[in-house]
Amino acid sequence: FNFPPVNEDRAWAAVAVMREIAGKHGVSVATVALGYVLAKPFVMSVIIGASRMEQLEQNLAATELKLDSDDLARLDEVSALPSEYPGWMLERQAAGRPPAPFAAKK
């Protein structure tokens, strides 16, 4: 029983991508996860949790991890949230339509 509900297929897909990126950089999945969040310009801080020194070291390593544009794009794609109603419906209805014209100049 997951509460709140978790889309496990989506979560495991994200973990798989993080594992690949972790292997590429020689770091842990936790380091990649925190490094990804820290790479977002709108994130001011993260809350970490560690019960062992090794976990603390992995968490702190995220501050030095430099993800490249391919890493970031892959993580963006795999972690993107699906559109919710009515957003998906509005996008569908607007597909193919030209943008609304700008207000006429006076």
Asked if residue 76 belongs to a domain, the reply is yes
Asked if residue 103 belongs to a domain, the reply is no
Asked if residue 104 belongs to a domain, the reply is no
> What distance in Å separates the CA atoms of residue 26 and residue 55, rounded to the nearest whole number?
15
> What distance in Å separates the CA atoms of residue 8 and residue 106, rounded to the nearest whole number?
55
Q: What is the pTM of this model?
A: 0.77
User: Would you tell me how many other CB atoms lie within 10 Å of the CB of residue 60?
Assistant: 13
Mention every residue, 6+ apart, whose C-beta is less than 8 A from residue 13: 78
Q: What is the chain's mean pLDDT, rounded?
A: 90
Give percent above pLDDT 70 in the chain: 93
State the maximum Cα–Cα separation within the chain, in Å, rounded to a whole number: 67
The better pLDDT of the pair 92, 68 is held by 68
Asked if residue 74 belongs to a domain, the reply is yes
Q: Which domain holds residue 22?
A: 8-94
Say what the pLDDT of residue 81 is: 86
Q: What is the pLDDT of residues 20-64, one digit of tens each?
A: 999 999 999 999 999 999 999 999 999 998 999 999 999 999 999
pLDDT surpasses 80 at 103: no
Asked if residue 26 belongs to a domain, the reply is yes
Q: How many distinct structural domains can be found in the chain?
A: 1
Asked if residue 77 belongs to a domain, the reply is yes
